[in-house]
Structure 1
């Protein structure tokens, strides 16, 4: 299978050379491989308080006259965190096996990607500033996940000094333009997270954009991703 990918010309406009299915899958794997530590952290995060709660329960039960109502409340907390962990694992699994046609509010999709990547990128020397407020438009969830994550990783992988990335969005009736504006810090150095895997490059972003029908434009410090607006209601 071959599809067309967007490729920036010298003036920043988009041409459409072809990209193979193998290139798309390689780019998708590269993004997921780089996101693996972030996905793992989000899956186990709701489980972390359970050990502490267990210690509290054990202490209360060791009392001469344990307060069973209080113990039940602690047990309810464990149940709540376990359910949250299950929901988180189910959600994270959809990154590996996307559900076709699932929509998301563009603001929610951007928040999800920023939430996954912000901490890791912060330790590398990059700050993500998400200025996208609630927007009453929806897009394909997997398109936002894959293309935005790939763009953020490719941009930061290409930088040699710390920087801030400002994320904004403007919606029209047909599409949402998500802009990534890079502002170098002017000092300091990048502390790369070494997961023994390759950097993301712009070809990866282009391949995923072609697969997800996202239009790209790129200038020196500005990348714009254009997602088609979907009309089905968000549930």
Structure 2
């Protein structure tokens, strides 16, 4: 199967020219701005827990010296949460300044996007589902993050109403055809439109998705309610990375 990048106006018309680099950079910035609240939450949640535990320990010390076992257990929990907080901050930093040659298994890369966006989409009355089968196909983490996040945001913004978004894929040895589908929910009498809550930044449109696809070398097209992309396999060629202690 061969997919081609297509125009937003015609839905199926092949794009004839590549978009300038600054269009892709603007699209990346727009997507990151929309992801910022979720990224900030992931970054601070463990650090807030460390601060709360420190306050509890301080209060106990004011009332009297806790037992050595209790003190040791509290220090161990704080150490664990601090490690998790460092790991979370490194993950957030990777969204902002990614490694271009980093690979990820297809389903895992898509799940990173779905997990990050699920809560904010729920507030808008939308559900997210990752129906991508588990496989050993390694793809570019940067490409998957940019295109899947942009596709989800673009389809939800265009729908303007509560909807169910599902990501599926057909996996081949050298590539995967990933489909992001948006299905509007039947309107209920008296229901409040959850999407009346406007995004914290501008909408992500089809031109943004196209610009990112060109920059990442991914072919895709869009119909009324779905985006289909052909994500090529990527062979890892970067140095081994040491996990943070």
TM-score, normalising length from structure 2? 0.85
Q: Helix, strand or coil for the counterpart of 1:151? A: helix
- Could you give the per-residue CA deviations for residues 181-230 of structure 1, whole angstroms, max 9, x where no partner exists? 22211114233444552111100000001101111121222211211012
Task: Give deviations 1:85-133, integer Å, cap 9, x for gaps.
Answer: 1111112112111212011111111111011111001101110011224
The answer as to 2:187 corresponding to 1:201 is: no
Decide which of 211, 223, 245 is 1:219's aligned counterpart. 223
Report the CA distance shift for 1:93/1:105 in structure 2 as closer, same or farther (over 3 A). Answer: same
Return the TM-score normalized by structure 1: 0.89
Residues 2-58 of structure 1 show CA distances to partners (whole Å, capped at 9, x for unaligned) of xxx922485747444220011111111111111111111111121232233234434
**Equivalent in the alignment of 2:68:** 68
**Equivalent residue, structure 2, for 1:169:** 169
Answer with 218-227 or 147-156: which moved more.
218-227
Q: Which runs of 5+ in 1 are unaligned?
A: none
**Preserved contact between residue 125 and residue 163 of structure 2 (Cα < 8 Å):** yes
* CA distance, structure 1, for counterparts of residue 137 and residue 16 of structure 2: 27
CA deviation profile, 1:163-188 (whole Å, cap 9, x unmatched): 10111122101211111122211114
- Count of residues in Structure 1 that have an aligned counterpart in Structure 2: 231
Does residue 122 in structure 1 map to residue 122 in structure 2? yes
* Maintained 8 Å contact 1:60/1:71: no
Gaps spanning 5+ residues in structure 2: where?
241-245
Relative contact order higher in (CA < 8 Å, ≥ 6 apart) = 2
Cα distance between partner residues in 1 of 2:156 and 2:28: 17
**In structure 1, how many angstroms separate the alpha carbons of the residues matched to 2:103 and 2:196?**
33
Q: 1:212 to 1:65 in 2, by over 3 A?
A: closer
- Provide the residue aligned with 1:85 in structure 2: 85
SS of equivalent to 2:170: strand
The alignment yields a C-alpha RMSD, in angstroms, of: 2.3
Compare 172-181 and 136-145 and name the one that shifted more. Answer: 172-181
